[in-house]
């Protein structure tokens, strides 16, 4: 049985028609950097990142199939690089808390704590406030 963690927050600030298509190679590099800098190597190295156009109302989703994780970005929403990275953090927290998710909610307390931790240690600073320095 496939277990899906779906990122279904569709804030207008995340959706933009001004940017190019999702670049899976760039996101993969960011995933590897994030794994080293913020997750102490706890994210699996074989996670696959895909970009697929779907009619689902999600920006991205994480699934576990054939013994590895897959992060799938929905190309229906044309996000900028910063927004894609914020979504990547979101999905990385789903992966790192996957086994501990015993709650019926998509965003249990462990996931929320992961996102809070990223905020506290400054992971979002260069994304959210880069233009204001």
Top pLDDT among 76 and 46 is at: 46
Among residues of the chain, what percentage have pLDDT more than 70? Answer: 76
Element (H, E) at 86: helix 81-96
The mean pLDDT of 39-51, rounded to a whole number, is: 96
User: Considering the entire predicted model, what is its pTM?
Assistant: 0.78
Does 4 score more than 50 pLDDT?
no
Q: What is the DSSP letter of 46?
A: T
| CA gap 81, 113 in Å, rounded | 24
- In the CATH scheme, what is the code of domain 4-132? 3.30.2010.10
């Amino acid at each position: 049985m496939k277990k899906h963690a779906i990122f279904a927050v569709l804030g207008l600030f995340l959706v933009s028609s001004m940017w190019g298509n999702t670049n899976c190679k760039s996101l993969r590099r960011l995933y590897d950097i994030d794994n080293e800098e913020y997750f102490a190597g706890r994210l699996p190295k074989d996670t696959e990142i895909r970009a697929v156009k779907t009619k689902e109302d999600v920006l991205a989703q994480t699934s576990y199939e054939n013994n590895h994780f897959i992060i799938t970005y929905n190309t229906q929403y044309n996000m900028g690089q910063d927004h894609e990275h914020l979504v990547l953090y979101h999905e990385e927290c789903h992966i790192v808390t996957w086994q501990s998710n015993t709650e019926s909610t998509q965003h249990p307390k462990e996931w929320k704590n992961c996102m809070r931790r990223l905020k506290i240690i400054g992971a979002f600073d260069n994304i959210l406030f880069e233009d204001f320095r």
